[in-house]
Amino acid sequence: MSTPQHSQSVFDFHGRPPLDKALPLSLQHILAMIMGTVTVPIIVVGAVGGSHAEQMTLIQISLIASALSTLIQLYGIGKLGARLPTIFGVGFAYVPTLVAVGAQYGIGGILGAQIIGGVTMIVVGLFITRIRHLFPPVVAGTVVLVIGLSLYDIAVNYMAGGVGQNDYGDPLNWLIALATLLVVLVVSQFARGFLKLAAIICGIGVGYLLALALGRVDFSPVAEATWFTAPRVMPFELEFHAAAILSVVIICVVNSVQTIGDLSATSVGGMNREPTTRELFGGLMGNGATTALGSLFGAMPTSSYSQNVGIVAMTKVVSRYVLALAALFMLLAGLVPKFGAIMTTIPYPVLGGATITVFGMITMTGIQLITKDELSARNMTIVSLALALSMGIYAVPEAIEYFPSMLQLVLGGSPIVVAALVAFTLNLLLPKRSLADEAAEREAMAAKMNAEQQAGPDQTRAESRA
């Protein structure tokens, strides 16, 4: 049955709620993603020793690429786009690889390798029909679970004031963060109607006002930003180096698995169903195309935003109109830097206090996905070993310091990589055994033991008669 085009429900993907209700819900997504979108190019430019002008170029085109990537995923262009309520943009998952590649080959080396990485994502998308069975809920759910767990340190670092900030760990930062978190919890649990859905924006609003009163809001980025900027084709000369290409291709393949996980988490958490093969195909193809084409303009590679997946799972708001407003704002912020700079004045503690609950929801969505499969000994082995190895290596990166540098880069950069590799490999290698198979095996073992026990006395009596 087709969805009514006049629907105004925020819980309907095709719903178009009134602007006064859609805008606050959209603002939650904007605030959750904008710092990540801005921070990634700042980190990369700092690592390669780039200029302030190069930093601003990367920031602006990353905002534009995030907006266009999201719109493609929401509405689609031909076969491109998942057409699911998801936000895409420049992601943290790439940062360790981009920093390592950039330090050796510069921004041009990153962007050149990124073209090949984007094409690789497209290839994964083309074969998703044939390989979809390789990513059952136990594999996709494990990846989503690790995504959630790996984001906790980001949220806590934000709550403490932001890594590298002079006031990192200041009790005032924690006061602001906890006040923000408290408002989010109170509104989400005790409010009614539309206000309950806007819990995150309520928390950010209160936290921002508190930070403002305590003198923790810096408006200098607004004063320094220009009024308009237009993207340029190839602002950096592209370079192609084998080592850089290999590193970026590997992380792009892993990101494709993360995309499958995030799209699964979005549809399960927000729409109570698993994504179709067509939706996964479109999501991977769209992400690959924007990653490859974006490199021509200086944009960093795009990926699904797990924090926004968490918002969808938490609020159940799946209207693409709501998310499209967020994308349009990002586009405006990219073209009008002064407008986008206003959002960057939100202090880190406010963002940390607002998003830590969201990251927790991602973790729970991963668990929800995992339990869609039977919790057989086989599946529990897959999940537990993937968790143990991924989070263990991530927590103790020096444990692999004698590995080849390329392997260190792949395994130590993100726990998502290890979790995806372990879960995927074990799912292929371990024999398929259901709970029924395991029960039958135990019954057979018990019957054999009983038979052996019965045979013992019978043999003793026979010997005594002889």
Mean pLDDT of 231-260: 82
- CB–CB of 321/259 below 8 Å? no
pLDDT of residue 130: 82
What angle in degrees, to the nearest 10, is found between the helix axes of 152-159 and 348-370?
Answer: 160
pLDDT of residue 12: 86
CA atoms within 13 A on the CB side of 25: 29
- CB–CB of 276/267 below 8 Å? no
CA atoms within 13 A on the CB side of 407: 8
Question: Helix, strand, or coil here: 89?
Answer: strand
Provide the 8-state DSSP code for 339. H
Measure the CA–CA gap between 84 and 138, rounded to whole angstroms: 21
pLDDT for 112 beyond 80: yes
Token digits of residue 250: 């590997």
Q: How many CB atoms sit inside 10 A of residue 293's CB?
A: 15
pLDDT of residue 176: 93
Amino acid at 120: T
pLDDT of residue 461: 60
pLDDT for 197 beyond 70: no
pLDDT for 154 beyond 80: no
Q: Which runs of consecutive H residues, i.e. helices, occur in 84-170?
A: 95-126, 128-131, 137-150, 152-159
Q: With CA atoms as reference, report the closest residue to 150 among 427, 458, 412.
A: 412
Highest mean pLDDT among 140-154, 274-288, 403-417: 274-288
Amino acid at 191: A
- CB–CB of 420/143 below 8 Å? yes
- Per-residue model confidence as pLDDT tens digits over 5-60: 577 888 888 888 888 888 888 877 877 777 667 767 876 776 677 776 777 788 88
- More confident of the two residues 389 and 433: 389
Measure the CA–CA gap between 330 and 89, rounded to whole angstroms: 10
Average pLDDT, the chain: 83
Provide the 8-state DSSP code for 84. S
Mean pLDDT of 367-373: 85
pLDDT of residue 1: 43
Q: With CA atoms as reference, report the closest residue to 94 among 124, 71, 121, 133.
A: 121
- Per-residue model confidence as pLDDT tens digits over 210-223: 999 988 888 877 77
pLDDT for 4 beyond 70: no
pLDDT for 342 beyond 80: no
- The owner of tokens 């760990």 is 169
- Per-residue model confidence as pLDDT tens digits over 164-184: 778 888 899 999 999 999 998
pLDDT of residue 340: 63
Q: With CA atoms as reference, report the closest residue to 349 among 185, 149, 212.
A: 212
- Per-residue model confidence as pLDDT tens digits over 286-312: 999 999 999 999 888 988 887 778 788
